[in-house]
Structure 1
Amino acid sequence: MEGAAPFYVEGNSVGLLVSHGFTGTTQSMRPLCEAYASEGYTVCGPRLKGHGTHYEDLEQTNYQDWISSIEEGYEWLKQRCDTIFVIGLSMGGSLALYMAEHHPEIRGISVINPGINIPAMEHVREIDGQNEARFSDAIGSDIKKPGVTELAYEKTPVRSVKEALTLMDKVRANLPKVTCPALIFVSPEDHVVPADNAQIVFNEISSQSKEVRQLKDSYHVATLDNDQQLIIDDTLDFIMRHLPSH
């Protein structure tokens, strides 16, 4: 899809790994990637496998494929950088938490409306793929700002929702393993991920330094919404405060 290409910019020795969410593309994170790169950081925004092409491609992937996509981006940054932060939206936030669980050397994470527990999706676990619909409605583009559209799939593979739920289960089970500084953004009005997910993350991670910021003027895809600049500014401030020299 046009606009769904991965984002790679080489800058200084501080690397930022930036992940888009489920059924979305790098387009939702591009404004952040460009802002971070303009500050001199080395930025990697991978395209998660099965995303940014056709929803039937997504149907063929599993949560391990999405982890692999993020791990590959992390390896690219490790070859160029001494210090790495991870930033993610929605399932990208779940993946950022996953990375912090498995790579304690990560310096800090910034998660935007991360998905950990979505009761409205739970019924999908019971769907029998043989006899029921393979695809459900789109979940992308939950944006308050008029005239802004997220580049996301127009249908959601049911099989892929099951994979996303499995990923969230695994991430939630290991939240106490997260010890790095964490900046958690939450939109109080979010029509995809319940706002209480941010509090679950805050309560269950072991980080000494952790904070929750409200995105009062945005829905789920806050990176394309009215609070975009707030997210950029607060994340840049968070990174500056947690660089090794500080």
Structure 2
Amino acid sequence: MIQQTDFFFEGSRSGVLLIHGLTGTPMEMKLLGKGLNRAGYTVHGMQLAGHCGNAEDLLATGWRDWYASVEQAADALREKVDHLFVGGLSMGALLSLKLAADRPEQIAGVGVYGATFRYDGWSIPRMARMSFMLPFLKKLGIGRDRSFMEQPPYGIRDERLRAQVSAAMLGGDSAAAGLPGNPWYSLAEMYGLSAAVRRQLAQVTAPCLVAHASEDDVASIKNAELVMREVSAPVELLLLDDSYHMITIDKERRTLIERSAAFFDRVAAADIPQRAAA
């Protein structure tokens, strides 16, 4: 059964929509959300369709369902704020970029956190690195019940935090820590989203803060470089040297919060007032 785990922190008339990753949960965005709220922002940490339940709940949805839930959350938050920012982790970063590409007059800026177009980090097993072929297997109806299980260090460099998160994840608490594996068909959907977003990157005109772990174990720095190369927007890069993939909760989360708040502050100060009313 899917549990509702999204969060909302009321603040100013500048708001940030935060989007978690594939098989993840809003909890992975909550520390960032609290930090942005302390900086004055209204924050909604949304829950993607099909998430925070079991594998069957996730498999009942695809990337278009996930994106539709992002659009719905953006519409709701936009009614409460004058400047709307969006930020996402991993696959959530791709959904954030798609929203910015589709709604250039609504999205003031984007936090691109650990963008994952391909699973090509150093901890990804050789077989899992071939997961870009999964859309073909899905078309053939092969492997619906198969998953790639999460591997240590689970995207977390902080050993104490890693132990806590892995215990919750492997213990079946998907609402707190997400699923312990990535179903093949859901990964196939993620790669469909990845292809769609890559085609749209040039349509992203909102300023982007691209934050990535320099030693990302899940998605190599090539993913961040792709964003920086292809978007038609001013880009600020933040490389984090003491974190792995889950930069919103790992060792340098305070740096990420401070840089994100400062980035959104600058963009809001320079943004055209009519943008939010468009």
Matched-pair contact (CA < 8 Å) for 1:17–1:44: yes
Q: CA deviation at 1:58?
A: 0.5
Question: Is 1:188 paired with 2:189?
Answer: no
Structure 1 or 2: larger helix share? 2
Name the counterpart of 2:117: 116
Report SS of the residue matched to 1:174: helix
Report how far residue 4 of structure 1 moved: 6.1
- The aligned residue for residue 135 of structure 2 is 125
Identical aligned residues as a percent: 32
The residue that corresponds to 2:242 in the other structure is 217
Shift of 1:143: 0.6
- Distance in 2 between residues matched to 1:138 and 1:98, nearest whole Å: 27
Query: Where do 1:198-209 residues align within 5 Å?
Result: 198-207=224-233, 209=234
Is 1:137 aligned with 2:131? no
Partners of 1:135 and 1:20 lie apart in 2 by 23
Q: In structure 2, how many angstroms separate the alpha carbons of the residues matched to 1:161 and 1:97?
A: 18
Q: Which region of structure 1 is more displaced relative to structure 2, 58-67 or 137-146? A: 137-146
Q: Is the Cα contact below 8 Å between 2:2 and 2:50 reproduced in 1? A: no
**For residue 217 of structure 2, what is the amino acid of its counterpart?**
H
Matched, 1:75 2:75: yes
Structure 1 residue aligned with 2:184 = 158
Q: Is the 8 A contact 2:243 2:250 kept in 1?
A: yes
- Residue 235 of structure 1 pairs with residue 260 of structure 2: yes
Report the Cα distance in structure 1 between the residues aligned to 2:148 and 2:249, rounded to whole angstroms.
Answer: 21
Is 1:147 aligned to 2:160, yes or no? yes
Deviates more, 1:146-155 or 1:133-142: 133-142
In 2, are the aligned partners of 1:50 and 1:60 still within 8 Å (CA)?
yes
Using structure 1 for the length normalisation, give the TM-score: 0.93
Range moving further from structure 2, 30-39 or 132-141: 132-141
Conserved? CA contact 2:18–2:87, under 8 Å: yes
Equivalent position SS for 1:137: strand
In 2 relative to 1, CA 236–2 (structure 1 residues): closer, same or farther, beyond 3 Å? Answer: farther
Residue 46 of structure 1 is matched in structure 2 by 46
Matches within 5 A, 1:5-44: 5-44=5-44
After superposition, give the CA deviation of every residue in 1:202-234 in whole Å (9 maximum; x if it has no partner): 000000x21211011111111111111111000
C-alpha distance in 1, partners of 2:92/2:104? 18
Does the 8 A contact of 1:18 with 1:46 survive in 2?
Answer: yes
How does the TM-score come out when normalised to structure 2? 0.83
Task: Classify the secondary structure of the residue corresponding to 2:73.
Answer: helix
CA deviation after TM superposition for structure 1 residue 89, in Å:
0.4
1:179 aligns with 2:190: no
Residue identity matched to 1:112: Y
Question: AA paired with 1:153?
Answer: L
Residue range with higher mean Cα deviation, 179-188 or 148-157: 148-157
Shift of 1:244: 3.8
Provide the secondary structure at the position in 2 that maps to 1:223.
coil
| Rounded Cα–Cα distance in structure 2 between residues aligned with 1:40 and 1:132 | 46
Kept in 2, the 8 Å contact 1:4–1:25? The answer is no
1:23 Cα shift? 0.6
Deviation of residue 2 (structure 1)?
Answer: 10
1:117, 1:142 → 2: CA distance? Answer: 15
1:68 match: secondary structure: helix
In the TM superposition, what is the alpha-carbon distance from 1:131 to its structure 2 partner? 4.7
Moved more, 127-136 or 97-106: 127-136
Q: What 5-or-longer segments of structure 1 have no aligned partner?
A: none
CA RMSD of aligned residues (A): 2.0
